[in-house]
Amino acid sequence: MKELWILFSTFCKIGGFTFGGGYAMLPMLQKEVVEKQKWATEDEVLDYFAIGQCTPGIIFVNTATFIGYKQKGIAGAVAATLGSIFPSLIIVMVIAAALQNFAELAVVQHAFGGIRVAVSVLIFHAVIGMWKKSVVDTVCILIAAAAFLLSLWVRLSPIWIVLAAGILGIAVSVGREGKKP
C-alpha cells in the first residue's frame, strides 16, 4: 500500500507542479522517475513517453500509467494514473469557477500570453533533451528530418509518421545486424 501511495503522490506532484502538457512535464518526470525514485532509466522514460504520445489520450497520463504498471501491475497503473489526473481535476475546477468571472479582463489575457511563452520554452527544453538522447547517428538525423518535413508539408496524422519512423528504425536495425560479420 505504501508503494501505491508513493506512485500516486509522485505523479500528483508532477501533475500539480508542471504546466503546459506532456512535453513541459518531461524534465520533472525524468527527475522524479529516473533520478529520485529510480523506477525507470532515461531511455525507458523516453520510450514510455513516445508510446504515450502514440496512444489515445494525454501523453503524461499514458506515461504515468505505463510506469505505474511496470512498478506494481494494475494497482500501480491505477495509482499512477489517478495521481497524474488529480491535480488537473482540482486546478481546472477552481480555474473554471474563477475564470468565468474574469476571462475578459486585460490582465488575465496578458497573463495567459506570458504563460504561453513560458510553456513554449519548457517544451523547447524538453525537445532538446529528447533530441540529445534520441538522435545519435546519421540514420536518426535522416529519420528526424523526414518526420519533421512530413509534419510540415503533408496533411498526415502524426500516428502514421511515428509508425513509419518505427518501421524504418526496425528495418535499419535489421539491415545493420545482417551486415555484421
- How much is the pLDDT for 80? 96
**At a CB cut-off of 8 Å and minimum separation 6, what does 41 contact?**
34
As a whole number of angstroms, the distance between CA 111 and CA 130 comes to: 29
Mean pLDDT of 114-129: 87
Among candidate residues 40, 91, 83, 92, the one with its CA nearest the CA of residue 61: 83
Most confident of 27-36, 64-73, 120-129: 64-73
pLDDT at 7 over 90: yes
- How much is the pLDDT for 83? 95
pTM above 0.75, yes or no: no
CA of 114: how far to CAs of 81, 109, 136, 161, in Å?
29, 9, 34, 32
